[in-house]
Structure 1
C-alpha cells in the first residue's frame, strides 16, 4: 500500500484517525503511521484536533490541508485573459483580467501570464516556493502531452510553440496546457456539477467546441482533438466555406461571427458576438431568429453526440450563451427530437452557471489534480525518503 493510497482517502476532506485509516485500508497501524508521517512532512495533510476518547489521551484527527500549496489557473481567450491563484481545494485567493489579443503571439501573452502569476503570489503573500503547478487554457487545438498548440487557426505564431518551457523559465513547476473548452468543462463540473460523471460542455463563441467528461474523466482523445464539433458538417451549411478550408462546418454557420455576418448582410448593424447578444436581449426579432436557428444547427450535431456519449447533462457556455433561452430552445428542439428516447429520458440541457469563470476555475482544477495525483504524491514521497 502506497502513500498515495492513504492520501486518496483523505482527499474528501473528512478527518480520520490513524486507526480509522488502518481499518479502511486494511494496512497495519505502523504502516499507516509511517504513510501519514510522510504526508505530514509534505504538508498535504495536517492535524485538526482530537477524536472522542475511549480512555486516555484522545487520538488526533488527520485531514487534507488545502492551504499547503497554491496553483495558478489561466484562461486565454481570443481577445481576453483571466488568471487566478487558488489553494489545492479550489478556493480563489486572487484574480486578474485583461483585454489581450491571442494573435499578438506567445511572447506577449505568456509574458502577461508570467507577470500576473507573480503579482498574484505577492498579493496572496505566498512565496514562489508555494506554487505547485500552472494550468493554462488556450483557444485552439493543443497536444496535451507536450503543451504545444497544433495549427491553431486564430493564433498566429503559436504553432508548436513550447508553452510549458516558456513559463518554466520563471517558475520551475509543472505546466499543464489544454484547449479552452476542456478546461471549461472541468471548471463547470468542479464548481456546480461535482456529482455528474457524464457531461458535455459546449462553448459557443468565436468558434464552437465541446469538452467531454465521461465516467468522471475528461476525454481528450488520441491527439487531444476530441469534442471538436465546430468542424462537423451540417445539412444547412451547404456551400458555406469555413476557415478550416472545408465546406458546411457548424462553426461557419452557427458561431458568433457567422451570426453577426448574416445579420449585417440583412441590414442589421452588428459586427461581433457581443453585438448579437445585445440585440437579442433588446428583443430584436432578426437576431432572435438567427440565434434560435443557430441553436437548431448546434442541436443537429449534439443529437449525434448524445446518442454516442449518453451524457446526463449538456452545458451550453461561451459568449453566445449569454443570449439566453433562445439558443437553448433551438438546441433542445432538435436534440430531443433526434436523439434516442432512452438517451434523453433524464437528459438536462442547461446554461453554464460558471459563466466567464468556467475556464479559469478549470485551469486551476487541472493544475491541482496533477499536484494531488497518485503519481505526483509518490514522486514527492520518494524525494523525502
Structure 2
C-alpha cells in the first residue's frame, strides 16, 4: 500500500519514453539536442522522434539559441509550462482559500471566503467551485492542468477518497473529485490540509529533511516530509496528532475534556482553537479572528506546551531537521516559544541541539503543496506516456493536458 506521496519536483532521469524525456527536460531550464543525446544515451533518430512527439503535444518548445559554440547556434529546448495553471481549493473548518497558481504554486489570483465544513458537502463544493470558476475566468491565455483540494480530514493514499472525519460529517465517501471533475475535466487530487501545508513548507526550504510542519488553528494537524516525499501512512491518517491523548492538561481534580471525536483527553480537546474558544463560551464561526481572540489567554500557553510535549515524541521518532509552526495560532511568538521549550525539555539534547523550531513565513503553503502534488501527477512520466498513447489511438496528433 502506498504510504508516500512525492512533491512532484522534477528529477533528472534517463529513459526512452517521451514521458521520461519530458521529466529530464523539466529538471533544468535549458537543454540542447546534443546535451539530451549525451544525457540519455538515445540514438539521434530515437531522440528526435521523442522530441517531435513532445513538440506536437505542446509539452516542450524551442526557446532561442544557446551561447556561442563556434559553429551554428544550437536551439534550446524547454518545458512549455507558461500559461499552465492549477486551481487550489484549501478548505479549513470555517474558511476556504481558493487560488489559481502557476505550476510552482505561486499564486496568480486568490480569494478567501467563509464556509462551514460541517455543512452539506454539495453546498460547500458549489460555493468554492463557483469562486474558483470566477478566478479562472478572470485570467487570459491559461490552461488548467489540474485541481488540488486540501481538506481537514484524512485522505486515503490508495483510493484518494476522504476517510471519516469528525469535523466533516457527511463527507465520508462523498465523490468530491468526481463532482469537481464534472465541472473541469482535469485530474483532481485530494490531500489532508496539514500535510499539504507540510509540502508547501518543504518547498520553501529545499534540502531540509526531515521536516515536520504543524498547522495549528481551529484544529491541530501535522505533516512529515522526508527527502521530498510526504508521509501519508497506511490509511491516510499520518500526522493526525490532535487526537493523541495527553496528560498534565487538567487543573487538579478536574475531568479531562471531551473531544469532538467522542473521546476524552485528546490534545485538540485541550489546545485547539475550537477548544480555546468554546471555553470562553464562543461558538467558532467564519467571523472569528482566532489569533486575536486567544493570543493573550493563559490557556493558550498551556495548550502550546502540550503541543510541544506531543511533538517531542515525534522528534524522537523522526529526528527532524526543522519543525515549522503554521496556522493562525502556530505562527504566534508565544506559541513558538512554548512549543520550543517543551520539545527541548522532553526530548534528548542530541535530538534537539541542532533542531530548528520556527514560525511559518509562507503566505499560503497549502497552495504550494497542492500545486506540487497536482503537477507531479500530471507530468509523471507514466501519466504523460498514457496520455500520448490515448491521443495517438484516438487519431489525435496532440496531447496537451486538457483544461479550460
TM-score of the two chains, using structure 1 as the length reference: 0.89
TM-superposed deviation, 1:68: 5.2
Residue 387 of structure 2 is aligned to residue 373 of structure 1: no
Quick check: 1:382 aligned with 2:386? no
* Distance (whole Å) between structure 2 residues aligned to residue 164 and residue 54 of structure 1: 50
User: Which segment is superposed worse, 145-154 or 173-182?
Assistant: 145-154
Partners of 2:342 and 2:71 in 1: how far apart? 67
Higher-helix-fraction structure: 1
Aligned residue number for residue 362 of structure 1: 369
- When residues 109 and 260 of structure 1 are mapped into structure 2, their CA distance, relative to the original with a 3 A threshold, is closer
- Structure 1 residues not aligned, in runs of 5+: none
Partner of 2:271: 254
- The aligned counterpart of 2:400 is none
Q: Which moved more, 1:140-149 or 1:71-80?
A: 140-149
Q: Deviations over 1:162-215 (max 9, x none)?
A: 10111122211111111111111122222x212223211111112111111112
Alignment partner of 1:83: what SS?
A: strand
1:170 pairs with 2:160: no
Secondary structure in structure 2 of the residue aligned to 1:6: helix
Structure 1 partner of 2:3: none
Q: Residues 84 and 364 of structure 1 are in contact (CA less than 8 Å); yes or no, is this contact kept in structure 2? A: no
Aligned to 1:345: 353
In the other structure, the counterpart of 1:201 is 213
Q: Whole-Å Cα distance in 2 between the matches of residues 345 and 22 of structure 1?
A: 47
Runs of 4+ in 1 over 6 A off after TM superposition: none
Q: Paired residue for 1:141, among 134, 154, 158?
A: 154
Change (3 A) 1:207 1:90: closer
Matched, 1:278 2:295: no
Where structure 2 has 5 or more consecutive residues not aligned to the other structure, the ranges are 1-14, 251-255, 393-404
| 1:1-385 equivalences in 2 (<5 Å) | 1=15, 2-67=17-82, 69-126=84-141, 130-190=143-203, 192-237=204-249, 239-262=256-279, 264=280, 277-278=291-292, 284=296, 287=297, 289-322=298-331, 324-355=332-363, 357-385=364-392
Shift of 1:9: 2.3
Task: Report SS of the residue matched to 1:331.
Answer: helix
CA–CA separation in structure 1 for the residues paired with 2:303 and 2:277: 12
Please report the RMSD computed on the Cα atoms of aligned residues, expressed in angstroms: 2.2
SS, match of residue 62 in structure 2: strand
SS in 2 for 1:307: helix
Per-residue deviation, 1:272 = 5.2
Deviation at 1:61, TM superposition (A): 0.7
Distance 1:380 1:261 in 2: 51
Distance 1:293 1:170, change over 3 A: same
For 1:276 and 1:363, how far apart are their aligned partners in 2? Answer: 24
CA shift for structure 1 position 51: 1.4
Q: Normalised by the size of structure 2, how large is the TM-score?
A: 0.85
**1:138 and 1:177 in contact (8 A); partners too:** yes
Q: Which residue pairs with 2:6 in the alignment?
A: none
Query: How far has the Cα of 1:72 moved from its partner?
Result: 0.9
* SS of structure 1 residue aligned to 2:277: helix
Q: Within 2, Cα distance between the matches of 1:275 and 1:244?
A: 24
- Contact 1:292–1:329 (8 Å) recurs in 2: no
Does the CA-based 8 Å contact 2:105-2:367 persist in structure 1? no
Q: How many residues align?
A: 370
For the 8 Å contact 1:72–1:367, the answer to whether it is kept is: no
Q: Distance in 1 between matches of 2:261 and 2:249?
A: 14
User: 1:202, 1:133 → 2: CA distance?
Assistant: 26
The alpha carbon displacement at 1:8 in A equals: 2.2
What is the deviation of 1:36? 2.2
How many angstroms does 1:279 deviate by? 5.2
Alpha-carbon distance, 1:134 to partner: 0.7
Q: Quote the Cα distance in structure 1 between the aligned partners of 2:293 and 2:188.
A: 40
Larger RCO, structure (CA 8 Å, separation 6 or more):
2
